[in-house]
Amino acid sequence: MTARTSRQAFGLKILKAGHPDIRQLKREGHVAEIHGNKFWNSSYLIMDYLKKNPLPKKARVLEIGCGWGLLGLFCAKQFGNRVHGIDADENVLPYLELHAKINGVRMTGEKKRFNQLTVDYLSGFDVILGADICFWDEMSTELYNLIRRGKKAGIRQSMISDPCRPPFTALSEKCEEKFDNVEVVEKFLKRPVNASGEILIVR
Ligand SMILES: C[S@@+](CC[C@H](N)C(=O)[O-])C[C@H]1O[C@@H](n2cnc3c(N)ncnc32)[C@H](O)[C@@H]1O
């Protein structure tokens, strides 16, 4: 029963849609509206990368389009980072809180859109992370502008992973054209699930 409704991966317990606690939150009316209804696999690509390229403990991490927040929670658990998540959909936040609780780590979250993250706001962080957040055409421009504001704010590293949907590829190409220090890392994972895609890294 447990294996069917949750999984253990990268040191985290991750609940599936059928888990009683997830179903309870849904019954209470927390129904995600912009695809934040589950945990998406592209987070694993960044987790795998960070296992081999760890963040310093003192790094302040912002997870954008955080959904259930597992990527941020991974950083809090593995590296002891202070982590905050933002998402346009407030309905995802109780799922983030639930996963923070069952994993015994701390991560704060709030409702905010990419476009609302000002240079001043971003100056409170060192690293921006996001997984599976570039799926509509307008998101390429929004995320490009966000990364640019992040650079002004002193963000040291922005990382966005995706299974390579066209808006993400457009974002990567624009970053490669406009910024100096850009890396695009290809990833193929067999475990904990089959997952493939790219990580855009802007330093
Ligand atoms: C496909 S889900 C991915 C969630 C999570 N990152 C994961 O990997 O499980 C996309 C998330 O981005 C959020 N989102 C979409 N547009 C957004 C925007 N303009 N600003 C902030 N968050 C946004 C959605 O609400 C949703 O939670």
Q: What is the pLDDT of residues 39-58, one digit of tens each?
A: 899 999 999 999 999 999 99
Residue nearest to atom 7 of ligand 1 (CA): 40
Per-residue pLDDT at 159: 98
Distance from residue 20's CA to the centre of ligand 1 (Å): 23
What's the DSSP call for residue 155?
A: -
Assess whether the C-beta atom of 62 lies below 6 angstroms from ligand 1.
Answer: no
How many whole angstroms separate alpha carbon 200 and alpha carbon 203? Answer: 10
Q: How far is the CA of 34 from the centre of ligand 1 (A)?
A: 7
**Structure tokens belonging to residue 47:** 């987790």
Cβ–Cβ < 8 Å for 74, 165: no
Take residue 83 and report the two structure tokens written for it. 């982590």
Question: Which residue minimizes the CA distance to atom 16 of ligand 1?
Answer: 88
Strands of the chain, DSSP E: 6-9, 12-15, 60-64, 82-87, 108-111, 127-131, 157-162, 182-189, 195-202
Contact 76, 129 (CB under 8 A): no
Regarding pTM above 0.95, the answer is yes
Q: Tell me the residue type at 110.
A: E
Using most ligand atoms within 8 A of CB, pick from 133, 135, 139, 168 the residue to mutate for ligand 1.
Answer: 133
Per-residue pLDDT, 33: 86
Q: Which domains does the chain have, with CATH numbers?
A: 2-202 (3.40.50.150)
Q: Which residue has the tokens 């799926």?
A: 135
What integer pLDDT is reported at residue 170 of this predicted model? 98
Which pLDDT score, from 0 to 100, does residue 166 have?
Answer: 98
Task: Give me the pLDDT at residue 2, please.
Answer: 65
Ligand 1 mutation pick, 34, 61, 110, 138, max ligand atoms within 8 A of CB: 34
How far is the C-alpha of 168 from the C-alpha of 199, rounded, in Å?
A: 10
Cα 22 to Cα 7: distance, rounded to the nearest angstrom = 14
Tell me if 67 CB under 6 Å of ligand 1.
yes
Look at the chain and count its residues: 203
**What parts of the chain have a pLDDT lower than 50?**
none
pLDDT at 6: 95
